[in-house]
Structure 1
Amino acid sequence: MSVIHILEADLELTGPAAVAAPEAHTVGSVLRPGLPLARDGWGHPHLPGTSLAGSLRQQAPPERRKGLFGDVDKESDASADGGRKAETTATASAVRVLGTRLTLPDDAPLTRRRRTAVDRRRAAAKATTLHDRELLPPGTEVTLWLRLDTAALTSPLIDEVIDLLSEWRPRIGGGRTTGYGRAEVVTVRHRAIDLSTPEGLRHWLTRGGPGLVDDQATVVHQRARRTGGAPDEPYLFGRALQFDIADSLHIGRGTHAGRPGRRSGVAVVLRDHEDTPLVPGSTWKGVLRARVEFILRSTGIGAVCSSVQDTASGSCGACVVCEAFGWTEHPGTAGGEGEPPESVGARGRLLFADSPVRDATVRVRHHVAIDRVFGGARDGSLYARETVENGRLALHIRHDQPVPEVVRAALVLALVDLADGTVGIGGATTRGHGTLAARPATADWLTAERQTAIRTLRAHRTPTPPAQPTEEVPV
């Protein structure tokens, strides 16, 4: 191997993203986010090369993943004493990840989003589930360096990896089913270093790190246009669903803005990097999952996650809802009696994107608690919150794997309930907030799909066994 090939790929985040490092928590770090960003030794945000290597491996065809990125095979052979002996055979990766570098956009600080789980029975926030995640802002530039060694300047392996990078749709970090981690490949540069020549050997020995890719590098891929982070996965229903805010909406950021001369601040709404009010993908996923579970339980479609399991965080991991929406292990399951679970969770097949609220009016509403004895305003109980009014938004539901038919049907009925006002989103839904109205095209589509969804659930309903007649016992 006398030729070293260095590939430099420039990526751009088209949405918020993060590789979390919960292990970074130490005693006294309670003021830090629950899921802080991974950082390097100097405290700067860092994107591990393993995260990008895993995403690139998934982009490769299954039959080529071992040849490009290596693998570990475990084989079981018969031993001399009649037992079985496991042997591990490891294949090294032909593609080496040398490192990454992050460059944040100007005047764009790191962002934080707070989330909480909802109790299925009380329909309110569940205790001890509030947490926040630190995120990289959209527009962050990521540079990735790869190395391949070959015996000649030209090689089919180099062409294969360049084609792989050119068609790569990076998905970085966690939260990919709720709109996080999308990026685009902007530029790919290739620099071949022939160690059999004095020039190549001098360049290899005197230059290092990013300096290996100099002005002799060739641009082998250039992004034609910025797509704005539009996902390439197909829509579950073949379209985006359009809604209007019927009354008002409040999805808080978990912080308060101070007001001069006032003792309390204003609970502000969540906004994106363009300062537009936002309905996050996690809100859509949580509300619709809870409603789908309710519909499937009510119609008797087999066994699905039940509200009695809501005493612990996590899901059953065995029903069609967990298959479509994903699941996490119950705390303490691995340490309990019986065999430990084979997995601590699975990523869902449904993908929910963030929904900016367009043409919105943001106002401040004041509230005060009522004194139960005197019937007037309670002293010291005045508070205020921002609300979003007169806006429109689009719901994007996509999927990267087939979704069970009954879940798709139940999701249609959940969207009908959302359009009818039976279900709301955000906070204070029992006090005039969170009601949506479907726009004409979406309303017509829901009306047409409703009967088909009902027929699908009826066809999959588990029949109730007839009651056994009681035998009369003579007295």
Structure 2
Amino acid sequence: MCRKTRDPIKTVVVYRGSITCRGEFYSGSLEGCPATDHPLVRTTSGEKIVFRGESFAGLLRKELVRYFGYECKDYQGQATGKNSQCNCKTCSLMGHSLVSETEGGKDALDYHSSRLRITGGVFKEAESRIRHGVAIERRFQAAALHKKHDMEALMPDASAPFRIEIENPQEHEKAAVEQILAEITRGFISLGGRKGAGFGRVAIDCSRYSFDLSTVKGVRDYLLGCDGDGEPVNLKDEVVCGAIDFLSCLDSLGDNYHGCRLMVPFDIRFPELFLVNDPLEAALVGSDHAAVLDHKDKPWLPPATIKGVFRSRCEQILRTLNPRGACDSSCDKAESGSSLKSCISQINAPKVKKGRNQPSADDIESEHFFCLGCQLFGSTLRAGRVRFLPGVYLEKVENEENGESRDHNRILQHFIAIDRFAGGGKDSAKFDAWACHDVIFKDCCVVMEDFRNWQIGLLALVFKDLVQADLHMGFGTRKGYGQAVGRFDPDQKVSLAARGKIYECRIKELMGHGIKPVLDEMVREFRKTIDEFKEATCGA
């Protein structure tokens, strides 16, 4: 039923280059592995890690649907469950993804396969490590039972080749593909899996090659793979604008910034002891707890740690203003009537008891179907609007007192539990920890997608706590570990991807031209939203 387009192939455009991991990368395999719950995709010999072209193609199709304004009927059919033949720009390039099994005859001629093909390759300088994840139970601020997992992560600086080939491309198709590649390079879009945990930040470097298949030379060069001198694709071009123009661009988008992405960089300093525990690293050094390290044995701050702390503080703010404003996403089996029961458990409970079907796409997009916490950070049925990207460890910290520079210090501390009856040390209750002291992670980023004003207002309140050193991250927060101090570098740039362009403005310009009243208005919008949500939930 599916076939190639009837148009003869006259021109082929090839984008060939490489992707380089700037953060940890994950592309999972369905095959089990005794070493981890989620291994990386490897070659049949198991020696090399593979970058799959099909995973890139799936992301590219999703972004094309977004780029062309969600006009694709195949996408709408996936959302509504109804198949409808589509002739949109996405299906014209990528082919039809939904083909009715009952249609045939001449109607089958209207379906065609993709004119775009993507191939990947094998990662070079690939080093992997096992990373651990755990859900935090909101009631006790401790690890939730049966909510621990691990995965194999590819370390930064690994690179792999890729090739994108388009038959008979039109100008708007090339512009769309290059815009998506640019947003990937700038960090707006992540590749692979575990994006919500901060995986998949990559940089792309590629060149564009054109082949005229109406000539003998063009056919020969294409078949022999003689790309020759390609035209480098500029993926770092942006529109640098002033604060007034940047704020005007934001204001023109309205309250619902659908189709936009906003990226804000910030730094995090831990002036005292800091530790995100890695069980494998602890076993290697012979300790009970040791810090997560990157492939260069430098301290590493997982983006999932930042996101978990931000989500926890957002939920505290929401539940303070409205007890139903945020659920406990780790509490799947809460007692009936519990205000902390997760949204997913509340959705699944009536389905199991009364045989209801899964909620529709309209229900999922409803403003009151999920709590405000799940609307911002996501759930298993709805993607989140915010994610965090890893920062860079600053190897030397300037000592302001004497002007000296030094690397971070690793300090071994011992702990012991006290027997409440005898008043002495409790047997077999001793442990130690290798902690880092006075470390800085620069250029951490928060990326918001399809956001709303109230969501920025809520995050602004959490960032205020971070700047005022009122947040703790990692191990031993009740022991004084992990005090985080946020800072916005005035010379860093806030980036906005909207309307097929990337706008940038320095933070110091925004601070000097009225960003504070804008943020205050968004905070008021947040308070208004939670009041409306309270009225809706109380009346339900």
Compute the TM-score of the two structures, normalised by the length of structure 2: 0.64
> Out of 292, 296, 312, which is 2:332 matched to?
312
> Out of 211, 229, 239, which is 1:218 matched to?
229
Structure number having the greater helix percentage? 2
1:50 corresponding residue in structure 2: 54
| Deviation at residue 8 of structure 1 after TM alignment | 5.1
| Deviation at residue 125 of structure 1 after TM alignment | 0.8
For the residue of structure 2 that corresponds to 1:291, the secondary structure is: helix
CA RMSD in angstroms, aligned pairs only: 4.3
Q: Does 1:67 align with 2:92?
A: yes
Question: Residues 189, 242 of structure 1: CA spacing in aligned structure 2 closer, same or farther, 3 A cutoff?
Answer: closer
Distance (whole Å) between structure 2 residues aligned to residue 313 and residue 271 of structure 1? 35
> Out of 211, 217, 232, which is 1:192 matched to?
211
Distance (whole Å) between structure 2 residues aligned to residue 203 and residue 441 of structure 1? 48
| Deviation at residue 367 of structure 1 after TM alignment | 1.9
Q: Deviations over 1:321-354 (max 9, x none)?
A: x9xxxx9788977983311244752322212112
Contact 1:11 1:143 in 2 (8 A): yes
> Out of 262, 267, 274, which is 1:249 matched to?
274
For the residue of structure 1 that corresponds to 2:313, the secondary structure is: helix
2:531 corresponding residue in structure 1: 462
Contact 1:162 1:220 in 2 (8 A): no
Q: Which moved more, 1:110-119 or 1:365-374?
A: 365-374
Question: Residues 259, 267 of structure 1: CA spacing in aligned structure 2 closer, same or farther, 3 A cutoff?
Answer: same
1:120 corresponding residue in structure 2: 138
1:383 corresponding residue in structure 2: 431
For the residue of structure 2 that corresponds to 1:399, the secondary structure is: strand
Question: Residues 397, 366 of structure 1: CA spacing in aligned structure 2 closer, same or farther, 3 A cutoff?
Answer: same
For the residue of structure 1 that corresponds to 2:162, the secondary structure is: strand
For the residue of structure 2 that corresponds to 1:368, the secondary structure is: strand
Seq. identity, %: 18
Question: Residues 277, 19 of structure 1: CA spacing in aligned structure 2 closer, same or farther, 3 A cutoff?
Answer: same
> Out of 15, 32, 48, which is 2:23 matched to?
15
Contact 1:9 1:185 in 2 (8 A): no
- How many matched pairs? 411
| Deviation at residue 362 of structure 1 after TM alignment | 2.4
| Deviation at residue 149 of structure 1 after TM alignment | 4.5
Question: Residues 273, 401 of structure 1: CA spacing in aligned structure 2 closer, same or farther, 3 A cutoff?
Answer: farther
| Deviation at residue 58 of structure 1 after TM alignment | 4.2
> Out of 251, 274, 292, which is 2:314 matched to?
292
For the residue of structure 2 that corresponds to 1:268, the secondary structure is: coil
| Deviation at residue 293 of structure 1 after TM alignment | 1.8
2:300 corresponding residue in structure 1: 278
Distance (whole Å) between structure 2 residues aligned to residue 19 and residue 55 of structure 1? 13
Q: Which moved more, 1:426-435 or 1:394-403?
A: 394-403
Contact 1:15 1:138 in 2 (8 A): yes
Question: Residues 267, 149 of structure 1: CA spacing in aligned structure 2 closer, same or farther, 3 A cutoff?
Answer: same
Contact 2:268 2:486 in 1 (8 A): yes
| Deviation at residue 458 of structure 1 after TM alignment | 4.0
Q: Which amino acid in structure 2 is aligned with residue 285 of structure 1?
A: K
| Deviation at residue 197 of structure 1 after TM alignment | 4.0
For the residue of structure 2 that corresponds to 1:413, the secondary structure is: helix
For the residue of structure 2 that corresponds to 1:40, the secondary structure is: coil
Q: Which amino acid in structure 2 is aligned with residue 5 of structure 1?
A: V
2:373 corresponding residue in structure 1: none
For the residue of structure 1 that corresponds to 2:382, the secondary structure is: strand
Q: Does 1:437 align with 2:459?
A: no
2:382 corresponding residue in structure 1: 346
Distance (whole Å) between structure 1 residues aligned to residue 467 and residue 221 of structure 2? 68
Contact 1:116 1:126 in 2 (8 A): yes
Contact 2:261 2:449 in 1 (8 A): yes
| Deviation at residue 120 of structure 1 after TM alignment | 0.7
Contact 2:332 2:344 in 1 (8 A): no
Greater CA radius of gyration, 1 or 2?
1
Q: Which amino acid in structure 2 is aligned with residue 282 of structure 1?
A: A
Q: Which amino acid in structure 2 is aligned with residue 179 of structure 1?
A: G
Correspondences of 1:419-430 after superposition (within 5 Å): 419-420=467-468, 422-430=470-478
| Deviation at residue 407 of structure 1 after TM alignment | 2.9
| Deviation at residue 119 of structure 1 after TM alignment | 0.2
Compute the TM-score of the two structures, normalised by the length of structure 1: 0.72
For the residue of structure 2 that corresponds to 1:92, the secondary structure is: coil
For the residue of structure 1 that corresponds to 2:306, the secondary structure is: helix
Question: Residues 409, 115 of structure 1: CA spacing in aligned structure 2 closer, same or farther, 3 A cutoff?
Answer: same
Q: Which moved more, 1:446-455 or 1:394-403?
A: 446-455
Distance (whole Å) between structure 2 residues aligned to residue 306 and residue 213 of structure 1? 56
| Deviation at residue 124 of structure 1 after TM alignment | 0.6
